Amino acid sequence: MPDLLADALTLPGLGWLVIIAFVAGLVRGFAGFGTALIFLPVAAQIIDPVWAVTVLIVMDLAGPAPAIPRALKDGHPKDLMRLVVATALALPFGMAALFTVDPQLFKLAVSVISLIMLAALMSGKRYQGEVTPPIVWTTGGIAGMLGGAVGIPGPPVILLYMASSLPARVIRANTTAYLFFFDVMMLIGFAFAGRLVGPPLILGLLIMVPNLLGNLAGGMVFNPRYESLYRYVAYLIIAASSLSGLFAALH
């Protein structure tokens, strides 16, 4: 363990991982989403793709944890259950792709997917029909595949809820709870696959602290009156991270 800690502390680029973990937590704290979209395009430039996803799910577990009791109280439990179960069924297929993907292809894919998801979020175009249980199940399955393959489960769920007529408080609660349970499922999957060991686990635990501090700071500055402003700040940071990852993947 001391050797693993020493290796983690001397990792080239550790400072950038700490910074991007804090920024991702900050955005998650005031916008309710964006951790993976911000963290992964940068982290994949520094460490192995599977390591990057491992670090993400370890560090991201602590950040939203204090908000989960309230999220479960404020949320829509039936929809949350459908999303989580559908994600659990699709997740192994996505993870199988992650464990076999070429690192360079992962860097390109995670940046392109992040930009596509960002464009979808910013476009304002939403599903206009009724958000029925089959649609929620399908969304959970898509999120499970995306989350397992590239560590980005959130945008399909966020797009679904932006189309719903649920109050903003309920949407924020369900999104927060869903992303937390996704991380738990990923941790279980990685543990069974023997991937939750060694340097990436230590790295995840190390940068859990700045990520948690970012979440707490973001939550403290959040004011519902400026929700649209927070959202556009999140979009700007996601764009910067994704474009940096895309540039690195192409050069």
Q: For residue 1, what pLDDT is reported? A: 56
Q: For residue 83, what pLDDT is reported? A: 95
Q: For residue 236, what pLDDT is reported? A: 94
Q: For residue 127, what pLDDT is reported? A: 62
Q: For residue 115, what pLDDT is reported? A: 92
Q: For residue 84, what pLDDT is reported? A: 95
pLDDT by 10s per residue, the chain, length 251? 567 777 777 888 899 999 999 999 999 888 877 889 999 999 999 999 889 999 999 998 876 777 788 888 888 888 899 999 999 999 999 999 999 989 889 989 999 989 988 888 787 666 666 778 899 999 999 999 999 999 999 888 888 877 777 777 788 788 888 988 999 999 999 999 988 888 888 999 999 999 999 988 988 888 878 878 888 899 999 999 999 999 988 87
Produce one character per residue of 201-223: b if its CB has 16 or more CB atoms within 10 Å, e if not.
Answer: bbbbbbbbebbbbbbeebbeeee
Is residue 37 classed as helix, strand or coil in its secondary structure? helix
Q: Which of 85, 13, 84 shows the shortest CA–CA distance to 51?
A: 13
Measure the N-to-C terminal CA separation of the chain; round to a whole number of Å: 36
Q: For residue 222, what pLDDT is reported? A: 80
Categorise residue 194: left if φ over 0, alpha if ψ from -120 to 50, beta otherwise: left
